[in-house]
Structure 1
């Protein structure tokens, strides 16, 4: 809404009851894709990530970017044919102050409006250039590889041994007795139906998000290393509601990621 190298059998570094604090700490060890610096006279950005995100459940794709570095007053992104697809010029007080970080997500129209083939044709594979100018007029540049290698969605999702519903519209939804343990099979290949299908991928991390929508929105999120494919949702969280939505994101080496969503009810 994301980079994929197959690993053998799953090894759970943390048992289901591992503390949330320890898992959060482990997430910082997961590496981000590295942007390649441009000309030696130019300052590279600290982070320059360009990637696609697929919502496999809803059927949509988005073009995302995360850029961070020295304070800048101008920023641009050029595609593989050196065509500018983004241009930002700070104005007034913000130009004098400078910006350091930028994250954006494109619109994500459903596949009946923009097919995967049309999306990938719109954003071709290859090297994209991120360019900027600092407050003291130094040039900034990083080169980022954007690929069409999308990880397959997480499969065989279980909720304490109960198969997950296909989506949140299922009726009835699975009813689970706490503690709720969400598990899935390791992802080792690319998506079978879009992009560069049939290739092996190297997953760099999974992300699990669990949300309560009623009576007020509440969410928890945890990043997991690639050899951990299960997580126990703290009972302190599931005690706060009756119905929950969860999302599993698979991020492969280039940064591309694929998400699946479903819902469950808690037997309280």
Structure 2
């Protein structure tokens, strides 16, 4: 008796989740999402900062590495209809006498944080950002036209200089010696700010990490202070996003 052999095929059904943009199983991130620490080494305080930027959204949640919610933002009313595209925030920055740095870092553990949101169209957005406890050392041994910068603006004697003003500092090569944990530090950039207290007048420059001096040559700017006193801040930002800053004052005659 002849037997007819029929080949058997096993078909496996696969279920694939497709996101709104047609890409399978892929989270859609915000255009920009970051969390970082900022140290004011002169005043002795620390804070956590964050920024989110992207398509119009109505809800935002930030969770720490242990999936504990630490921030929730929800637009309501007419703002919910309009949508939010960019949000920047800074935490309070109590001095080290009020909040010990070790306790601060326990409050905001190192690791991956999730930033999640929902757009006006109901699409989900999600980013994972790494928050590091490696804090860059602050710029040190600052000089103003060759004169040592005082410890802070409350010094009894402030250096008296003439414009243009050149600020020089030592390169930041590693982590802060007293705060955070040890680790490599790659400088992304320095930021130099010179301003007149209690006014809107300031000069701000962001310069490459390979430069450790900057000249403010606008002579008109240095005629704006009636008392001739100017405040400067030199800030370093590491590739991790973390920042450290020093500040002091000088007088232009």
TM-score normalised by L of structure 2: 0.87
| 1:47 is aligned to 2:47 | no
Aligned to 1:11: none
| 1:188 is aligned to 2:180 | no
Query: In 1, distance between residues paired with 2:134 and 2:221?
Result: 35
If asked which structure has higher relative contact order (CA below 8 Å, sep 6+), I would say 1
After superposition, where does 1:82-101 map in structure 2 within 5 Å? Answer: 82-101=67-86
Aligned to 2:19: none
Q: 2:237 aligns with which of 232, 251, 264?
A: 251
Q: Per the alignment, do residues 91 and 225 of structure 1 end up closer, same or farther by CA in structure 2, a change over 3 Å counting?
A: same
After superposition, where does 1:39-188 map in structure 2 within 5 Å? Answer: 40-188=25-173
Contact 1:78 1:84 in 2 (8 A): yes
CA RMSD of aligned residues (A): 1.3
Aligned to 2:216: 233
Deviation (angstroms), 1:196: 1.2
Query: In 2, distance between residues paired with 1:97 and 1:55?
Result: 36
Deviation (angstroms), 1:213: 2.5
After superposition, where does 1:193-232 map in structure 2 within 5 Å? Answer: 193-197=178-182, 199-213=183-197, 216-232=199-215
Indicate the structure (1 or 2) with the bigger Cα radius of gyration.
Answer: 2
Residue by residue over 1:241-268, the C-alpha shift from the partner in whole angstroms, topping out at 9 and shown as x without a partner, is: 200000001100110000101000012x
Any unmatched runs of 5+ in structure 1?
A: 1-38
Aligned to 2:6: none
Deviation (angstroms), 1:92: 1.2
Query: In 1, distance between residues paired with 2:191 and 2:197?
Result: 19
Deviation (angstroms), 1:217: 4.0
Contact 1:208 1:249 in 2 (8 A): yes
Q: Per the alignment, do residues 205 and 113 of structure 1 end up closer, same or farther by CA in structure 2, a change over 3 Å counting?
A: same
Show structure 1 runs of 4+ deviating over 4 A.
none
Deviation (angstroms), 1:176: 1.0
Contact 1:42 1:138 in 2 (8 A): no
TM-score normalised by L of structure 1: 0.82
Deviation (angstroms), 1:96: 1.2
Query: In 1, distance between residues paired with 2:130 and 2:200?
Result: 36
| 1:266 is aligned to 2:252 | yes
